[in-house]
Amino acid sequence: MNTTIMLFLLQDGITNGAIYALLGLALVLVFAVTRVILIPQGEFVTYGALTYASLAAGQMPGTAKLALAMGIAAFAFDLFVARQALHARLVVRAFLTNIVLPAIVLAVTLYFAGQKPPVAICIVLSLVIVAMIGLYLYRIAFQPLAHTSVLVLLIASVGVHLALQGLGLLFFGAEGQRGPAVLSTSFTAGALRFTGQSIAVYGITIAFIVGLWLFFGLTLYGKALRATAVNRLGARLAGIRTSLSGQIAFLLASVIGALSGILIVPITTLYYDSGFLIGLKGFVAAIIGGLVSYPLTAVAALFVGIVEAFSSFYASNYKEVIVFMLLIPVLLLRSLAAPAVEEEKD
C-alpha cells in the first residue's frame, strides 16, 4: 500500500470514528443517568438523517406527525400519573410541552415541506422533531419502568427499537436516501481532499465533546444528571427530579443521534434500518470506554472507525466480524486487569 491510500483510509476512518464517538457519548450519557442501554439510538440517527433528506427533497417527513402522536400519548401518561392531584398549572404545562409544541412544529414542517427549504431550516426542523420524539419516548416507554432492573429496561429498549424501525419503514419506505451536504466547500492538502462535510463532522464532534464536558462540569443541570447517575435515591433526597434527569438525557441523546444522522447522510446512503448497525459501532466504542468515560469512548470510537476503514480495504468480507471481534481482546484485558469486585445490589 502507498501512503496516499493509507492517508485516505485514515481520513475515512476518522470521519466515521467521529460519528461513532458522538453516538458512544450519547449511549454513555443515557446509560449513566437512566440505566437504559439505548438500542434505539440507531433510530434517532436514521430519523434525523431521513427527515433531513426528505425535507431537503421537498417531501413531508412522517416523523413530524409521529412526534405529535407521541406527544399526545405523553400528555395522557402525565394526566394519568397525576390524576390524584390535578391542578391547572400542571395540566397547562403538560399541554404546552406535549401537544402545543409538536403541533406548532408540525405546522411549520407542513409549511416548508412543499418548497425545498434551505439547508439550515431542514437541519433545525429535523433536530427539533427528533428531539421531541426522544423526549416523549422517555416519558411513554421508560419513565414508567424507571424502578425496574437493567435487564427489563434493556428488553423495553429492544421493543422500542422494533417499533421505531417499523415506523421508519412506514415513513421513509424501503429505498435509501441521501441528503445535500451541510457545507459544500472543499480544499486539498497534499494528496488529501477535505470536503466541507468532513470538516463539519470533525468540528461538530469536538464541539459536542467540549459542550458536554462544560455542561456536566459547570451547570447545575449537568451536576444533577451526574448525581442521578451515581445514586438515584440520593439524588431524589437532594431534591433532584430524576424523571427530569431522564428526560434531559434522552433529549440530548436524540439530538446527538439526529445530528450524527444529518452529518452522514450526505456521505453515505441511509436506509430505514441502517441505524442499528451504526448505533452498535457506537456501542463498541462505549464498551471499550467502559460505559463511564467520555474521553476514552471518544478515543475508542476513532480507533473503531480506523479499524473499520482498514479492514474494509483489506478484508471487506470480514469488516463487521473484525469490528465486533475487536471487543473480545478489549474485554479480555479488562477482565484480567480488574479483579472481580463485589457490586452491592441492595
Partner 1 sequence: MQSRLPILIFALVMAAIPHLPGMPPFWIVLLDNIGLTALVAMGLVLLTGVGGLTSFGQAAFVGFGAYTTAVLSTTYGLSPWLTLPLSLVVSGLLAVLLGLVTVRLSGHYLPLGTLAWGLGLFYLFSKLEFLGRNDGISAIPPLSVGSYRMLNPGSIYYAIWVAVILSALLTMNLLDSRTGRAIRALRRGHVAAEAFGVQTPRAKMLVFIHAAVLAGLSGWLYAHLQRAVNPTPFGAQAGIEYLFIAVVGGAGYVWGGVLGAVIVVVLKEVLQSYLPLILPGSGQVETIVFGIMLVALLQLAPGGVWPWLMSLLPERTSGRKPDTSLKLEARTRAQSQSNVLLQVEKARKQFGGVIAVNSVSFDVQAREIVALIGPNGAGKSTTFNLITGVLSATSGSISVLGKKVDNAPPQEIVKLGISRTFQHVKLVPDMTVLENVAIGAHLRGHSGPIASMLRLDRADEAKLLAEAARQIERVGLGEQMHQLAGSLSLGQQRIVEIARALCVDPMLLLLDEPAAGLRHMEKQRLATLLRDLRDGGMSVLLVEHDMGFVMNLADRIVVLDFGTKIAEGTPATIKTNPEVIKAYLGVAA
What minimum distance in Å lies between the beta carbon of 80 and partner 1? 12
By CB under 8 A, residue 37 contacts partner 1: yes
By CB under 8 A, residue 44 contacts partner 1: no
Rounded CA separation 210/68 (Å): 32
E strand spans, the chain: 186-189, 192-195
Please identify which residue in 15, 165, 198, 247 interacts with partner 1, judged by CB under 8 A: 165
234 HSE (CA, 13 A, CB side): 8
Binding residues with partner 1: total (CB under 8 A)? 52
Please identify which residue in 163, 183, 200, 251 interacts with partner 1, judged by CB under 8 A: 163
By CB under 8 A, residue 332 contacts partner 1: yes
By CB under 8 A, residue 69 contacts partner 1: no
From the list 332, 329, 280, the residue with the least C-alpha distance to 308 is: 280
Rounded CA separation 165/273 (Å): 6
What minimum distance in Å lies between the beta carbon of 118 and partner 1? 32
DSSP states of 258-299 as a string? HHHHHHHTTTS-B-TTSHHHHHHHHHHHHHHTTTT-HHHHHH
From the list 320, 49, 318, 319, the residue with the least C-alpha distance to 176 is: 49
Contacts of 314 (CB under 8 A, 6+ apart): none
By CB under 8 A, residue 175 contacts partner 1: no
By CB under 8 A, residue 83 contacts partner 1: no
Element spanning 98, H or E: none
Stretch that binds partner 1, among 102-110, 178-186, 210-218, 324-332 (CB under 8 A): 324-332
Please identify which residue in 93, 116, 193, 334 interacts with partner 1, judged by CB under 8 A: 334
For residue 315 the three cell numbers come to 478484508
Look up residue 307 and give its amino acid.
V
By CB under 8 A, residue 233 contacts partner 1: no
For residue 52 the three cell numbers come to 433531513
By CB under 8 A, residue 346 contacts partner 1: yes
By CB under 8 A, residue 287 contacts partner 1: yes
Q: Which residues bind partner 1 (CB under 8 A)?
A: 31, 37, 39, 141, 144-145, 148, 150-152, 154-156, 158-167, 169-170, 174, 280, 283-284, 287, 290-291, 317-318, 320-321, 324-325, 327-328, 331-332, 334-335, 338, 340-346
